[in-house]
Amino acid sequence: MGDARKKPNPASSSSGETLIEGRRPLRCIVKLGGAAITRKNELESINEESLGSVCAQLREAMASSSIGSASPPPRGISMDWSRRSGDRILPVSVDDFGEHSAVDFDNNFVIVHGAGSFGHFQASTSGVHKGGLHLPLVKAGFVATRISVTSLNLEIVRALAREGIPSVGMSPFACGWSTQKRNVASADAAQIIHSLSAGFVPVLHGDAVLDHLQGCTILSGDVIIRHLAQLLMPKYVVFLTDVLGVYDRPPSDPNAILLREIVVDEDGSWSVLKPTLEQLKKEVEITVAAHDTTGGMETKISEAAVIARLGIDVYITKAGTEHSLIALKGQVDNDTEDWLGTVIRSSKHAPLSA
């Protein structure tokens, strides 16, 4: 602990290079999809049940070593001591926290969440993603969007803390993330690394940010994850969403087929390995949800492909299922048919499939 802090070696980057030496390797970056944790069609409404189950699974995954334990660990002692947390206003008797009472778990995770029904309305009404901060409507929309997404961030940090996960909110705008024509132009990961070294779990989110060319834009959680994966080289990346993974057509279509494995070539092109083209019997047609201002599945696959090319496995699956727990533990077995989700990996690193 504290190693990275003693050597001030900020992982500052002007667009995606470098990586910090001498720190604990990052285990996992998790995306909590907006669709999984909010009610997408109800303004600023959290899907409490889904969020609660995601947080419980995260805790379980952090407590499981790579060997994996059969029974879930005891629930942690809440780190949310706020009045709104209900009956246990200050749940703390100092005795609750002996020197050794905390399960010593591997919480070397970074969490990034989407906006769902937070922020999207404000951003799309005002056109924040198109820039133009000199326009009063855009400036107001920028402020309104940040209020909305940071209030979601606070609730997610609280939900994680209630599970005993030492979560710390880190808002990308405030941390100095900025873009140039919607590509990440600067992102200071030093504080993320310091937080990890101190044993905390940074929680970032899609945000309204300053853009060097157009004034401002929306930086999506998916782009943040791609950038952090390049900087921090986690062992694996998990996208939790409201469907089982990537389908060949809109998942609402009864004939939609789950794409189980996608491989990415060194040139960045990708193809579906499972099911085989014969099984699919047709061209793959990827869904793009029209209401999603930051791009739907196609964006997700492109972003995931960039990550996979680095040799990092990407798992996309449904939040709050047995499959998401396996993904969060990093225990997806390529040869089993039981795990339902989409694996995206590099063709170079992928085991040869028959």
The one segment of 15-23, 24-32, 39-47, 240-248 that binds a copy of itself by CB under 8 A: 39-47
Q: Min. distance of Cβ 275 from a copy of itself in angstroms?
A: 42
β-bridge mates for residue 105, sequence order? none
By CB under 8 A, residue 166 contacts a copy of itself = yes
By CB under 8 A, residue 181 contacts a copy of itself = no
Confirm whether residue 296 is marked as ligand binding: yes
* Of 79 and 316, CB closest to a copy of itself: 79
β-bridge mates for residue 37, sequence order? none
Binder of a copy of itself out of 7, 88, 212, 291 (CB under 8 A): 212
By CB under 8 A, residue 191 contacts a copy of itself = yes
Cβ-based burial of 33 (10 A; exposed 0-12, middle 13-18, buried ≥19): buried
Alpha helix ranges (H) inside 127-220? 136-162, 190-197
By CB under 8 A, residue 200 contacts a copy of itself = yes
Q: What is the DSSP letter of 204?
A: E
Confirm whether residue 86 is marked as ligand binding: no
Confirm whether residue 189 is marked as ligand binding: no
| Residues 85 and 158 sit within 8 Å (Cβ to Cβ) | yes
The one segment of 189-197, 260-268, 306-314, 336-344 that binds a copy of itself by CB under 8 A: 189-197
* Of 162 and 318, CB closest to a copy of itself: 162
Rounded Cα distance between 70 and 86, Å, is: 32
* Of 191 and 347, CB closest to a copy of itself: 191
CA 218 vs CA 151, 253, 299: distances in Å: 16, 30, 14
Backbone angles phi, psi at 122, to 5 degrees: -60, -45
Confirm whether residue 349 is marked as ligand binding: no
**Chain-centroid distance, C-alpha 290:** 21
By CB under 8 A, residue 121 contacts a copy of itself = yes
| Residues 152 and 38 sit within 8 Å (Cβ to Cβ) | yes
Binder of a copy of itself out of 150, 217, 230, 293 (CB under 8 A): 150
Which one, of 192, 176, 182, 205, lies nearest residue 31 by Cα? 205
Binder of a copy of itself out of 18, 52, 73, 188 (CB under 8 A): 188
* Near a copy of itself in 257-296, by CB under 8 A: none
By CB under 8 A, residue 330 contacts a copy of itself = no
Binder of a copy of itself out of 30, 110, 128, 161 (CB under 8 A): 161
Confirm whether residue 330 is marked as ligand binding: no
| Residues 15 and 98 sit within 8 Å (Cβ to Cβ) | no
Which one, of 172, 174, 185, 175, lies nearest residue 213 by Cα? 185
The one segment of 54-62, 145-153, 252-260, 264-272 that binds a copy of itself by CB under 8 A: 145-153
* Near a copy of itself in 56-115, by CB under 8 A: 77, 79-84, 89-90, 92, 94, 96-99, 101-102
Binder of a copy of itself out of 11, 61, 170, 187 (CB under 8 A): 170
Confirm whether residue 114 is marked as ligand binding: no
Confirm whether residue 199 is marked as ligand binding: no
Cβ-based burial of 121 (10 A; exposed 0-12, middle 13-18, buried ≥19): middle
161 in helix, strand or coil?
Answer: helix
Binding region for substrate: 115, 120, 221
